[in-house]
Amino acid sequence: MLHNVIAVFFALASAIVVAWGTVIRHRIALEASGAVMRTAMGNPLWWVGTGAAVLAYALQLIALAFGTLLVVQPVLVLSLMFTLPLSAWYSKRRMPGHEIFWCVALTLAVGILVLYGRPRAGEDNPTWSDWWPALLVGAVLLIGLAIAGVQWHKYRALAFGTACGIIYGYVALLAKGATTELTHGGISSLLTSWHLYALIALAGTGTVVQQYSFHAGPLTHSLPAMTIAEPILAFGMSYWVLGEKFSVSSAAGWAVMATALAVMILATIVLARVPVGPRPAQSSVK
C-alpha cells in the first residue's frame, strides 16, 4: 500500500509538471512561422518547457519504480486537469461550468480505475518474444496515423496528437522495463539494457511529434487525443507484455471498470471540443 501511495504522489507531480510544460510549448508552437522545430528551439522558453518534460519523465520513472504501470498511468491522465485551467489562465478566460463538470468526471473515472481496480504487479522480466509483437503493433499504428495526418489536413492535430499519445504509452511501458532493470541489476544492468536506449529514442521522437501536433491546430484537438491514447495503450500493453492485472473478477466489477473507462474517454472527447484561447470578440451593430 505504501509503495502505491508513493507511486501516486510522484505520478501526480509528473502530471503537474507535464501540464505546465505543455502549455508553454503549445503557445510557442502556435506562434511559430516557417520551420516549427527551428523556431521553437530559438525561443529560450521552449527549452524551459522541454526541461519540464524531462523532469516529468524523471518523476514518472520514480513513480514506476514504486508502483505498477496500471497505477501510474491513469494518474498521469490528470495532467489534462491541470493543463486546461492553466491554458485558460494564460489566455485570460474563465472556464465555464460544463468544462469543470467534465474535468471532474475525468478525475472520478481515473480514481475508480486506480482505487477500485487495485492493480496487481505482473512479470518482472518479460522476454523479447513478449516484446516484439507489441512493438510491431505500435509501428503499424504510427505509420497509419502519419499517413492520415499527411492526407487529411483537417485532422492533422488529432492524428499527430494520437500518435504522440501512442509513443508516450510505449515510453511508459519501456520506462517500466528500464526501472525493473535498474532495481534488480543496478546501473550496469540498466546501461546494457535495450529498454533504456529505446526509451530515449522514443521520448525524443515523442517530443518532436508533440511539437508538430501543437503547431497543427488548437491544443484541444491534440492534447486530449494524446492524453487518452497514452493510458489506453499503456493499459493494453501492461496486460499483454508485463502481465499486470486489475483485481476485479466479477461481472459487476468489470461493468464498473468499463463504465469508468467509457467516462474517461467521453470526457476527453467533450473536452477536445472546447476551444482553448481567448474567446472571439462579439460584434455589435450600432
Using one digit for the tens of pLDDT, what is the confidence trace for 196-246? 899 899 988 988 888 788 777 776 677 778 877 888 888 888 888 888 888
Residue 114 has pLDDT above 50, yes or no: yes
Residue type at 41 in one-letter notation? M
In terms of Cβ atoms closer than 10 Å to its own Cβ (0-12, 13-18, 19+), residue 19 is buried
**Which of 6-10, 100-104, 189-193, 274-278 is the least confident region?**
274-278
Residue 282 has pLDDT above 50, yes or no: no
The answer to whether 77 touches 228, Cβ cutoff 8 Å, is yes
Residue 256 has pLDDT above 90, yes or no: yes
DSSP state string for the chain: -HHHHHHHHHHHHHHHHHHHHHHHHHHHHHH--SSHHHHHHTSHHHHHHHHHHHHHHHHHHHHHHHS-HHHHHHHHTTHHHHHHHHHHHHTT-PPPHHHHHHHHHHHHHHHIIIIIT--B---SS--HHHHHHHHHHHHHHHHHHHHHHHH-GGGHHHHHHHHHHHHHHHHHHHHHHHHHHHHHHHHHHHHT-HHHHHHHHHHHHHHHHHHHHHHHS-HHHHHHHHHHHHHHHHHHHIIIII--B-S--SHHHHHHHHHHHHHHHHHHHHHHTS--SPPPPPP---
CA 17 to centroid of chain Cα atoms: 12
State the average pLDDT for the chain.
81
Does the pTM surpass 0.85? The reply is no
Query: The cell 468499463 sits on which residue?
Result: 258
Distance CA 29, CA 22 (A): 10
Mean pLDDT of 38-59: 78
Residue 124 has pLDDT above 90, yes or no: no
